[in-house]
Structure 1
Amino acid sequence: MSVLVLGGTGEARALAERLDGAGVPFVSSLAGRVGRPRLPVGPVRIGGFGGADGLASYLCGERITAVVDATHPFAAGISAHAADACAQARVPLLRLQRPGWSDEPGAHRWKWVDGHDAAARAAAGRGGTVFVTTGRQTLDRFVGPLASCPTLVRVVEQLDIAVPGEWMVLESRGPYDLAAERALMREHGIRVLVTKDSGGAMTRAKLDAADELKVDVIIVRRPPAPAGVETVADVRAAAEWATGVTGAG
């Protein structure tokens, strides 16, 4: 009888540490989309489940007592599958999700858009060098609209798509501090920052640097979360929930 933590985020790794320290049996699951992931403590499985039905079968076969969905705010597919699978298997589900940036100081100055296509179109019409930090999985949406725009792209791992000659690709893994972000934007003459509402402090500094340097900011809104799923923003609250559901501790 154990907890399944759907992970890949800093919150998921912190939750694994808490569960491990409290003696709560658990297993972390990573999607496997990053070649060199940061692994949490404890047992880890890597790879998909085969949709909601596959996840439901896994929950029953592995005698999972509860599921904590601590995936990225933009991992809408696995969150939807988790909601469906837990309903099928009658397993309690909690969503652990960091707060977004919509209530942050300065958020009213940023342009908020629905989807990466809208972000690409908005960036193409601004002029100047564009800094894209939305991740490699959605980068293909920007290739066409920004084909002739000077563009700096920051990704964690090497791209598997061809990019326009006007582009520069920077492979880098956060966290990032304000001084480094400020220096990077000045070095490349950034006029437009494109990002998504990931939330958290790990990549927040780029927004502060953009505000300081009067750089236009375009942010992709989060996809809607599955309806009816209890959500917490605090790792400790998630650990307490998992402990209570399993009866451990």
Structure 2
Amino acid sequence: MKVTSTYPDIKNIPQKQMKKLERSTYRWLEHFKNPGFKYFLDNTKDYRTCLGEIVNKIKHEQARLRGISIKMDQLQCIGYYIEVVGLNKKNITKLPDSKIHPFGTAFSFERDLAYHFYNLYEISHHLKKSLEESFQKLYNIQINYEKIDVNYPNFEHLAKRISDLDFNFFPDEYFKPHPLIVYTDQNDYKELALNLDDPWYKFYNPQVVEVYWLYEPDGVTEFCAMPYYDYLLKYLPIESLPKIWMRDSKINNLKLTHPHNLI
């Protein structure tokens, strides 16, 4: 869900007309200092920033989505990262975007699905609160709600699938807030519980780390950087990494920017 697509819902609250036509919904709401709009911006800032960085990189800087799989001993996790062309040790290199992925990290699918599913409800909740605040402060109108029963089998199926995930994350994601999705469906009783819990602060100390990532040569960029290489060297002792296996069938005579004498 695009967070900014909710702005017109707030704008539709009747207000006095502008003397000058303003096509930007954001600036229109700013001009009238809509009280609900400020509430909405303040309470969705972190998620908007997270999504905005990714969207801008792909839309305006031609960044690419690349797949990655990490196996730590017997635990395997798959995901993706935002690949850009940047400088690494003065070399023009294809690598994970440093602002989105500090230390060359990535997003696991299991955490990413749960995180965005949680924020779908979080954004909806804050939109509801912002509309209530706007009507209350602008027109002294209290919004009353009528509870209705709805049935969205596809949505319920998605909630159950995410609830059943094992939550195998990439190493750095155990230090991020943990999206908890619990779906219950027993004897006609259905309940969906969502929460953003504290980080688990859980870290594996594996004997073997295997990193598989997709890379597509462009015929120009000579160097590519292996995702998670810097992170693993920074946060795991060298002796606990006796072997790093790098496998990529799509690399054609390209150089890795890191010296890796651990192989």
TM-score by length of 1: 0.22
Report the structure number with the largest CA radius of gyration: 2
TM-score by length of 2: 0.21
Q: Relative contact order, CA 8 A, sep 6+: which one is greater?
A: 1
